[in-house]
Structures are given as structure tokens and as C-alpha cells.
Amino acid sequence: MQPRGRKQVTIVGGIAALAVAVSLSACSSSPSHPSGASSPSAAALSGTLNGSGSTFQTTFQQAAISQFKTVQPGMTVNYGGGGSGKGRSDLASGVVNFAGSDSPIPSTDASLFAGKTILYFPVVIGPITMSYNLQGVSNLKLDPTVIANIFQGNITSWNNPAITALNPGVSLPSTPITLAVRSDSSGTTANFSLFLQTAEPSAWKLGSSSTISWPHSARAAQGNSGVAQVIKSTPGAIGYVDYADAKASGLTYASVKNSSGNFIAPSTAGASASAAGVTVNPDLTFHAVWGSGAQAYPITYQSWVLVNATQPSANDAKMLQAYIGYLLGDGQKLLPSLNYAALPASIDQMAKAQLSKIKG
């Protein structure tokens, strides 16, 4: 199904594309106008774009794709999940036009992209909650040290002095702690472990990766919703769950101490604040965890759309500019209702300015 789409792309004529080129270059030269910048106005494009990768992006991509239909009725955009690793290898082998990825291309995969320039477009950020199941405890506070010790199996019961010290006045039971983790490799795991490695480099020994060698007593489940299910059904459980799924499952989540020393509950605003407080590299890679800022929620996670800077045809380039431009423009307005966080304005503008680097 995907290869067929690519054929259609090359067949499409160029007049419409030319018109869009004009309107888009006008847009990218005026970054001071964030929300309107993405509408490629009257010029209609037609063809198909295929993407795959990050499952974290799937809900956003699906919502954006259906809204994008009203902007560009002639274009068909498909997004299949499959995981960031799949997205990147699909992009490397030319199966898709764009990939969704929760982490930059790892050095071990650099050889796949030898000779190609890959552009990173951050499109979405979101908090990862520390969701837990403790009867009668609704405002738990945790800091990175305690979280690291819980997830390494050093703290095994809820009334451990390290936890009670952070929660004065809260009566914590002696219930044993059950860890709920992901059984599938996941960008959520990668970014959660990256948070612990960044915030607590000395205490955290398990490293950062899409798969972590958890303590044997952990309960593993498939996907964010699977972990949420384990937490919900297991008294004393704690796990890392993407904000959208934690809310959808009605879980209770902890406030986490940020780099300024404040305990912040997960929220879309807190995630945006964390991303606004991190250093962004020139290629627009960055890690949104542990951002500075008094209101920053520290376990924040980002995801990019990856494309080749050089496209096989001018129309492919125009379509990608139109779609990614939409994700960075009006698409951002869809995010809060999906319980994802919008990009901070600074990063959004840098991403929009990069659109013109996609060349046909």
C-alpha cells in the first residue's frame, strides 16, 4: 500500500506545486506570525505522503491528518505506527516519506543514513506521569533520587523513610511497591530512563535505552495502556505512563521535583515549560527532560518528524512542507485537547524556519 502511494506522488503535475512554493516561502519568511504560517492557502497539492514510526505521535498524527484534509483535500497522508526504530529504518530504506521518532538517530544507525541529510522537525512534546495506585493517597510527591531507587528495586515499600520524608503529613501504608514497566521497547521507556540518567546520574545505574533491564519483580505490560491497566489493578503499583493514557485510564499521578526544587504535577503547560528551558542544538535535536524553569515538569518527552532534506521530486518537497508546516502551525492547536503539549514558541519558530530546507 505504501509503495503505491509513492508512485502517485511522482505522477502529479507541477503547476499547483509552483503556486504553493510561492505561498510557503512567504510563510517561512514571516516567523513572527506563528499560527497562520502553516496554511498553504489556495494552492492545492495532490499526492500521497506516507509516514511511520513513533507510536507516541500516532494519536496526534491521526487527528492532524483528518484536519489537514480540510486544508489540502487533494493530499492523502498516511501514518502507521510501529515504533521509532521502524520509522527510522523505513525512512532510510525509502519506504516512507517521513518518519516519526522519539529520539535522534542513534550513532549505531548513522550508517543507514550515510550521504543523506536528515532534517529534524520537533512536532509534539508531552509529560510522562509517575502513576501509582495507593488507596487514599492523592498528592504524592517524588524526587528523581527516590524514583531512581524505586525503579532499581532499592526502595521496596511505600512507607520507606525516603518517601515519607518527601511527603510530610501523608500517612503512607507499608504496602510493597510493585513496578509496572513496558514489555515492548518504547520511546516512553527511553525518555523516562533518560530523565533519571540526566537528573540523577550517580544513583541511576540502569542506563538509558528503549529497553531497560528492570528488577525481576517488575510487572511488564504492552503499551502505555497496558501499563496503566497493571497500575489500576494492582494496589501498591507505580509505573511510568504517558500523560494522555494516564488521564484516559483515570490514574492518580505524583508531583515530581524539578531542577528548580519545586514539586510540579504533570500537565501540558508544565511540559511546554520544561522544553522551553532546554538547550536546542542547531539541528533541532534536544532533550526536553529536566528543563530549567520554576514551573517545568521534569519528565517531559519530545518527538520529531524526520525527513530527507533532498526529495526525489519538487512535489514531494512541497507536500512535506505543507504537511509539516501544518503540524507546526494549526496542528499545534489540536494538542492540548489530546493531552499532548504544544511546542514552546521558540522551538516552533526554529522548526518552521527549517521548512525551506526541504528541497525537491
Partner 1 sequence: MGRSQRADPAGLAGSARALTQQRPLGDRIFQALALAAGLLVLAILVLIAVATTSQSTSWFSHEGITGIFTTTWDPAHNKFGVLTFLYGTVVTAVIAVILSVPVSVAIALLLTEVLSYRWARPIVYVIDLLAVVPSVVWGLWGLIVFAPWAQRTIYAPVAGAVKGVPILGNLFGPGTGGVVSGPSFFTAGVILAFMITPIVTSLSREVIATVPVIDREGAYALGATRWEMIRGVVFPHSQGGIVGAVLLGLGRAMGETIAAALVIGSIPAITSHLFSTGYNMPAVIVNQFGESSGVFRSALLGIGVLLFVLTIIVNLIARGIVARSMARQRGA
Contact footprint for partner 1 (CB under 8 A): 55, 82-86, 88-89, 106-109, 156, 176, 183-187, 190, 193, 206-214, 216-222
Nearer residue to partner 1 within complex by CB, 107 or 202: 107
Nearer to partner 1, 48 or 50 (CB): 50
The cell for 303 is 518527538
Nearest to 124 by CA among 360, 295, 348: 348
Q: Which three cell numbers stand for residue 235?
A: 494496589
The nearer residue to partner 1, 55 or 308, going by C-beta atoms, is 55
Grid cell of 56 as nine digits: 507516541
- Minimum CB separation of residue 213 from partner 1 in Å reads 4
- Report in angstroms how near the CB of residue 241 gets to partner 1 at its nearest: 17
Measured from the CB of residue 315, what is the shortest distance to partner 1 in angstroms? 30
Q: How far is it, in rounded angstroms, from Cα 126 to Cα 144?
A: 18
Report, in Å, the least distance between residue 80 CB and partner 1. 11
The residue type found at 274 is S
| Chain centroid, CA 189 distance in Å | 12
Region of residue 64 (phi > 0: left; psi between -120 and 50: alpha; otherwise: beta): alpha
Rg, the chain, Cα only: 21
By C-beta, is 97 or 210 nearer to partner 1? 210
CA distance 57 to 43: 27
Residue number, 93 or 337, with CB nearest to partner 1: 93
Q: What is the nearest approach in angstroms of partner 1 to the Cβ of residue 111? A: 9
Q: Please tell me whether residue 41 adopts helix, strand or coil conformation.
A: coil
